[in-house]
Amino acid sequence: MAAAKRSATTPRAFPPAVQRVVLPPYEFEHLDAEAVAALAESVPVPQGTALLRLAQHRALEKAALSAGGFPVAPYAAIARPEDWPAALRTVGLPALLKTTTGGYDGKAERPPTPPPPPARRRPASF
């Protein structure tokens, strides 16, 4: 049976290394926040996980930056199809639709295509 593949984004990747790590800084947001939290139980992680979790969710990150007075490009979070009209009014066109999590360097984004209007029910024929 082959050994399970380990990745830098899974908690199982850390335990063997923890015995040798004194101070594990990280420089990018594509680490699993749960794995970093598990590591922080054994050794000091200077950055913690709060900012990591924030940086991994685009809508939360933009809201936090806006609340802190930092300029951000116009954005709107779309949770349901009904959110499209208000989002497009807020952002305007041209626009770019992005996932709130995952993706990087142009991945997981595309120009928006609003959903079609709800189908109208045809009256029953008698």
Q: Which residues, other chains included, contact 82 with Cβ-Cβ below 8 Å and sequence gap of 6+?
A: none
According to DSSP, the residues that pair with 109 across neighbouring strands are 98
Q: Reduced to 3 states, what is the DSSP secondary structure of residue 45?
A: coil
**pLDDT score of 109:** 75
**pLDDT score of 70:** 97
Low pLDDT (below 70) residues in the chain: 1-19, 105-106, 108, 114-126
- What is the pTM assigned to this prediction? 0.64
